[in-house]
Structure formats: structure tokens, C-alpha cells
Amino acid sequence: MSDEAKPTVAKARLELEEARERAKFEKYRPRTLEQKLGYLIEECGEVLAAVGKSLRWGLGGFNPELPYGQRELNGDWIQRELADLERALSLVKDALNVQGYPARKAKP
Ligand SMILES: [Mg+2]
């Protein structure tokens, strides 16, 4: 077995963390169009919060109210919320497509 193919503790931890993240998202995954639109609104708000705090306190700032293990830099927070927003956008676009939107316009 090559060194690259050998499992490492760090790799195993990363895979476990990714599996936990997928399981968490699956548990709360929006299923209906209404739920998906709600998720989109929620993520838009979270992006606004992260950008607003970053403008006030800087990209390198962080929320001092969070415990040490949960702190993240505001710039990282924006990146995380943008990834969430992209996922929400994708879900809503797909759901709208399934429902026939954008609707075909009748030709004059
Ligand atoms: Mg979010």
C-alpha cells in the first residue's frame, strides 16, 4: 500500500466530520418548495449578518461571545454562509424548474 493510500487519523477524522455534516443537512433538508424558499430566505439573512458584522468588526474579527472552540473569523463565516446560500439557490432553482418556471411565454 502506498503512503497516499494509507488511511491516516486526520483523513479519517475529516471523513467522519463530512459524514456528520451530510447527516445533519439530510435531517433538516427542506423538501417542499415552501420549505426551500424559507431556507433561501434564512440563508440570505445569514449572509447579511456575516457581511454586516465583517463590515463593523473586520474580516479578521470574530464573535467574542462564542466559546473558544466555536469561534471563526468573520471572513470564514462569510465563506460558510455563501456556501449555504449557493446550496439554497440550487435547491430553489431546481424546485422552480420542476414546477415549470421559468414559464414559457406565449409567442405573439
Ligand atoms: Mg447558513
For residue 33, the surrounding DSSP H or E stretch is helix 33-57
In terms of residue numbers, what domain contains 73? 30-98
C-alpha cell read off for 85: 446560500
Residues, CB-to-ion distance under 5 Å, ligand 1: 46, 81, 84
- Residue 55 forms part of a structural domain: yes
- Residue 79 forms part of a structural domain: yes
- Residue 51 forms part of a structural domain: yes
Average the pLDDT over each of 1-15, 29-43, 59-73, 87-101 and give the range with the smallest value.
1-15
How many whole angstroms from 77 Cα to the centroid of ligand 1? 9
| Residues in the chain, total | 108
What total of structural domains would you count in the chain? 1
Q: Report residue 4's pLDDT band, with 50, 70 and 90 as the boundaries.
A: low
Q: Report residue 2's pLDDT band, with 50, 70 and 90 as the boundaries.
A: low
- Residue 85 forms part of a structural domain: yes
- Residue 80 forms part of a structural domain: yes
**pLDDT tens digits for range 38-73:** 999 999 999 999 999 999 999 999 999 999 999 999
- Residue 47 forms part of a structural domain: yes
End-to-end Cα distance, the chain: 67
- Residue 94 forms part of a structural domain: yes
